[in-house]
Amino acid sequence: MTRRDFLNGTLLTLSNLHLTPLTANPLYAKLLKEDYYPPLLNGLRGSHPGAFETAHELAWTGKSDWGTEIDTHERYDLIVVGAGLSGLASAYFFKQAYRTDAKILILDNHADFGGHAQRNEFEWGGKRLIGYAGSQSLDSPSEYGRVCQRLLTEIGIDWRRFEELYDFDFFQTHGLRAVTHFDKRTYGTSQLLPFTFYEAHLYEFPGILAGGLSPTEAIAQMPIAAKDQLIRVFKGPRKRVKYPNDLPYFEYLKQEFGVTSKEVLELLRPLPSGDWGYGADVLTIGNAKEAELMGFAPVAAPVEDAEWVAEIKASKEEQYIHHFPDGNATVARLLVKNLIPTVTHVDDMTGIVTAKFDYSQLDTPAQSVKIRLNSPVIQVNQVKGEVNVTYLTQGKAYRVHSKQCIMACYNMMIPHLIPTLPTAQKEALRKLVKSPLVYTNVLLDNWQALKRLGIGMAYSPGRLHKLVAMDYPVSMGDYRFPKSPKEPMLLHLEYIPLSDEYGKDPRDQFREGRYKLLGMSFNQFEEEIKEHLGDLLGSAGFDPLHHIKAITVNRWSHGYAYSGSSLFDPDVDEENGPHITGRKRFGNIAIANSDAGANAYLDNAIAQAWRAVKELNR
């Protein structure tokens, strides 16, 4: 994909996203044209240009003069700030708690609804491919709370059906396994080993082949100098020493196994970052055991592939298979369909995956619920028993009015939006720093190179994106997962920015990582991805200039909600911490979002919406 191809494709798409200027009263304006469809945008998405600048002006420069405010004279029963899963669920629960015709306005700064639960769409070779841009899967839905399970059921999701929709045999059929990739730029040679450092990667892709080299065989072939230190870790502890559970994991590796080599630590550090939002350097021994990192028991030789797959399929534990092709964007779409029925005629969980949404229906005069995109909120205040909300659209400030309000946005921004909050509440909210992350989707015109090399998932410790994986083999309704290597395929790449310095407070690492992301252009991501995939797949005839057809980089500068750190704030958990003080009701304003529950999972986002609505209803 040449630079010209990328620019032409993106600009042609952007030219179709017309935004009609607002009239004096936006209630009677059609804000989005019928051909507005943000899932098709490539390039830099997620926290995309145009979505975050207003927030930065508020938080970084303290800007307060946004020009003359235009009073729209719109009045609502509820205004929700944030159109993510928690914001959409807030509107859903509010309608249930009050009345179905309640007037609700949902405001969001992004070009699409869903928050992190957005989707990327691609069209190539007559096929339509759909990938997840953020929130990935329903994790153990049978263990969700009653409120969340009820909501999913009411909007039409039967998570038990994934046992049939997920193709357990796909990876085995094509001989695809988890591998470790040592790249030439970092290690001086390009090498693929059928071996995984992290068993959690195997469970994240049910059915992926796990056989291959034993730890001793694999380490002998690794292009690293400190092989002896790594072998000792794999063999497990020999000393009869009881280490305190709060000892840092890296200190444990040093004391128990004599691990001092930075190249060994660099191999191990990123492994849990996709789940925790930070690296192994700030995990305790207790955390590391929970993450199932190595060093606590001997690592057994790999089981045979057929035995491994049979064991997974027969397991009574809930598998990680509850994945829509667009991740949890389908949950967001079903919520929007429930709130605004005219967006599509489709309302079932399989059909909604390929349904074309009419975004022009999100904000029309006749409907009781409206979703107003590209509209960052700049101020929320309470005057004489009502809530006034001011937002920006196309550079102009507009004021709307409501009886009540739910702040379902990034909680750390709330002190800047509601300056009248109590000081203690502001201070608590400012501590809710999210961890940054990047989910990248790469469209390949075929996946024959992956087939030849037997790669279903690769851990690349020396590259920006540590994880490269084929998309989950799920087919639903009219959507068919590409099962032939000659078909186009989406690769999903994951990057969690970590500090250059070990052992720093995770929140400081989050800030440092966020600055890294904001300083990276799409061009830098594109060049890195082409070099990475060329090194990973080049030996099988893969040419990134020819085989890569599109790239969408979903940059979430504010990604996972912060759940605390055993090393730096051991008292913080879902029941205790600054999020409890931060989410207190303030007059006619309640606070939702996953931040308010110190947990980044979908069920928590929904639970916080339920709590916020109940608080307003007291």
Query: What would the pLDDT profile of 170-181 be if each residue is shown by its tens digit?
Result: 999 999 999 999
Q: Give the C-alpha separation, 87 to 93, whole Å.
A: 10
For the chain, percent of residues with pLDDT exceeding 70: 93
Helix axes 85-97, 146-154, angle to 10 degrees: 90
pLDDT at 239: 78
Diameter of the chain measured on Cα atoms: 76
Q: What is the pLDDT of residue 12?
A: 33
Query: How far is residue 40 CA from its own chain's centroid?
Result: 18
Task: Look at residue 9 in the predicted model and tell me its pLDDT.
Answer: 36
The SS3 assignment for 370 reads strand
Rounded to the nearest angstrom, the gap between the alpha carbon of residue 446 and the centroid of all alpha carbons in its chain is 26
Q: Is the pLDDT of residue 22 over 50?
A: no
Return phi, psi of residue 494, to 5°: -125, 130
User: Sorting pLDDT into bands at 50, 70 and 90, what band is 5?
Assistant: very low
Q: Which residues 6+ apart lie within 8 Å of 83 measured at CB?
A: 106, 107, 108, 110, 113, 114, 115, 371, 373
Predicted local confidence at residue 27, as pLDDT:
39
Facing residues of 479 across strands?
476
User: CB of 32 within 8 A of CB of 19?
Assistant: yes
Closest among 427, 410, 482, 421 to 170, alpha carbons compared: 482
Helix (H) or strand (E) holding 411: none
Single out the residue of 253, 252, 216 nearest to residue 235, CA to CA: 216
Separation between Cα atoms, residue 253 and residue 61, nearest integer Å: 44
pLDDT interval class at 575 (50, 70, 90)? confident
Average pLDDT over residues 451-478: 97
Name the band, by pLDDT with cuts 50, 70 and 90, for residue 18. very low
CA distance linking residue 158 with residue 348, whole number of Å: 10
> With 50 as the cut, is the pLDDT of residue 16 above it?
no
Alpha-carbon torsion, ordered 496, 497, 503, 507, to 10 deg: -90
For 509-527, the pLDDT digits (tens) are 999 999 999 999 999 999 9
Amino acid letter, 88: L
pLDDT (tens digit per residue) in 334-366 = 999 999 999 999 989 999 999 999 999 999 998
- pLDDT of 30 above 80: no
Q: pLDDT band at residue 599, thresholds of 50, 70 and 90?
A: very high
Query: Which residue bears the tokens 């015709």?
Result: 101
Query: Could you tell me which residues come within 8 angstroms of residue 251 by beta carbon, excluding any fewer than 6 positions away?
Result: none
- R_g of the chain, CA atoms, integer Å: 24
Q: Which is more confidently placed, 475 or 25?
A: 475
Q: Which of 439, 445, 447 is nearest to 537 (CA)?
A: 447
Rounded to the nearest 5 degrees, what angle is found at the Cα of 180, between the Cα atoms of 176 and 185? 125
Q: How confident is the model at residue 299 (pLDDT cuts 50, 70, 90)?
A: confident
Give whole-number Cα distances, 172 to 167, 169, 181, 409, 428, in Å: 10, 5, 20, 42, 49
Q: Is the pLDDT of residue 611 over 90?
A: yes
- Length reported for the chain: 618
Higher pLDDT, 98 or 273: 273
Q: What is the pLDDT, as a whole number, of residue 316?
A: 62
Q: What would the mean pLDDT of 544-570 be, rounded to a whole number? A: 94
Number of H helices, E strands in the chain: 24, 17
Mean pLDDT score across all residues of the chain: 91
529 pLDDT band, cuts 50/70/90, is: very high
Return d(Cα 137, Cα 323) in angstroms, integer.
Answer: 5
Nearest to 490 by CA among 557, 554, 556: 554
pLDDT tops 50 at residue 7: no
Q: By C-alpha distance, which of 232, 225, 214, 211 is closest to 182? A: 225
pLDDT at 23: 35
pLDDT at 296: 93
Q: Is 474 left (phi over 0), alpha (psi -120 to 50) or beta?
A: beta
Predicted local distance difference test score (pLDDT) of residue 19: 37
Of 9 and 506, which is predicted with more confidence? 506
pLDDT average, residue stretch 273-292 = 94
* CA 560 to chain centroid: 7
Question: Is it the case that residue 145 has pLDDT exceeding 70?
Answer: yes
CB 469 within 8 A of CB 489: no
Lowest mean pLDDT among 210-214, 401-405, 483-487: 210-214
Which secondary-structure segment (H or E) carries 8? helix 3-14
**Domains annotated on the chain, with CATH:** 47-118+325-431+569-616 (3.50.50.60), 167-173+437-556 (no CATH), 213-301 (no CATH)
Q: pLDDT: is 14 or 585 the higher one?
A: 585
**CB of 488 within 8 A of CB of 444?**
yes
CA distance 516 to 495: 12
> pLDDT-derived band of residue 307, with 50, 70 and 90 as boundaries?
confident
Q: Are 225 and 260 in contact (CB under 8 A)?
A: no
Cα 133 from Cα 523, distance rounded (Å): 19
What is residue 114's three-state secondary structure? strand
Is residue 444 helix, strand or coil? Answer: strand
